Amino acid sequence: MIERETVAVTGFGPFRQFLENPSWKAAQGLKSAGLGNRIDVYIKEVPVTYVKTQKIIEELWRTVNPKFAVHLGVARGSSAVILEQTGKNSGYRDRDVCGFCPENHCCVEGGPEKLDSVINMRAVSKFFKQSGMDVIYSRDAGRYLCDFAYYLSLYHGQRKAVFIHVPSSGSLASADRLVPLLLTLIQTMLQQLEGPSETA
């Protein structure tokens, strides 16, 4: 019998003008499409609050303990998919939807200033860009809930996590264009995760 593995996918809840957040819609689309026979897709909606985000991300790694976590957030005003390499620990001064910001403006007291995903996002973005896809590499997830969730996941999940900003405008903003691209991106990342560099 084939052993099944879990990939966790999170999207954010309502935020400003997004009554239905495109990132959560994309997460639901990924769950419906699936990632093949060997992989269970676990999805979770994350409210745009620091306290709940922290609780959900910590619980995700403690109870679900996925092989890999994919966090989705919306990039306002962007028409491209943005692959984030790095999560940052400090500088969280913008208030969440409840009007709060984290104590000491950081994710983890005494944690490293920044953490990088085990996935080489530059290589992934380059591969897709060469195929004519609107995929961009970034090292700045924005020091808001996206960056906060990403850092916590990298910290608790031994860096086996990625953050993808999905577009809010343009042709890729439609779920039927976005979900197939996200599926291919995630499959490429999983191949990299299982690749020779893992044993090097």
Set 84, 98, 101, 109: catalytic member: 84
CB atoms near residue 190 (< 10 Å): 20
Spot the catalytic one: 71, 107, 156, 165. Answer: 165
Q: What is the CATH number of the domain that holds 119?
A: 3.40.630.20
Token match 């990939």: residue? 7
pLDDT, tens digit, for every residue of 37-84? 999 999 999 999 999 999 999 999 999 999 999 999 999 999 999 999
Is position 59 annotated as part of the catalytic site? no
29-33, Cβ contacts within 8 angstroms, sequence gap of 24 or more: 29/175, 29/178, 29/179, 29/182, 30/70, 30/179, 30/182, 30/183, 30/186, 33/179, 33/180, 33/183
**Structural domain contains residue 152:** yes
Whole-number Å distance between alpha carbons of 23 and 82: 12
Please tell me whether residue 91 adopts helix, strand or coil conformation.
Answer: coil
Residue 199 covered by a domain: no
Q: Residue 200: its pLDDT value, please?
A: 35
**Phi, psi (degrees; rounded to nearest 5) at 71:** -105, 130
Query: Is the pLDDT score of 113 beyond 70?
Result: yes
pLDDT value at position 199? 38
Confirm whether 176 is domain-assigned. Answer: yes
pTM value? 0.95
DSSP conformational letter for 170: S
Asked if 107 is an active-site residue, the reply is no
Query: Does residue 180 lie in a domain region?
Result: yes
Confidence band of 103 (pLDDT split at 50, 70, 90): confident
Tokens describing residue 41:
């897709």
Q: Residue 2: is its pLDDT beyond 70?
A: no
Per-residue pLDDT reduced to its tens digit, 15-35: 888 889 999 999 999 999 999
3-class secondary-structure state, position 147: helix
Residue 189 token pair: 């990342």
The per-residue b/e assignment along 114-143, b for 16 or more CB within 10 angstroms, e otherwise, is ebebbbbbeebbeebeeeeebbbbbeebbb
> Which residue range is the domain that position 160 belongs to?
5-194
Please identify which of the residues 71, 107, 146, 156 carries the catalytic annotation. 146
* Mean pLDDT score of the chain: 94
With CA atoms as reference, report the closest residue to 162 among 93, 105, 115.
115
Q: Is 156 a catalytic residue?
A: no
Structural domain count, the chain = 1
pLDDT at 197 exceeding the cut of 60: no
Residue 130, pLDDT above cutoff 70: yes
Residue 1: predicted pLDDT: 56
pLDDT attached to residue 138: 98
**38 occurs within a structural domain:** yes
Which amino acid, 100?
F
- Is 200 inside a domain boundary? no
User: Do the domain assignments include residue 95?
Assistant: yes
| 100-125 mean pLDDT | 97
Can you give the pLDDT at residue 126? 97
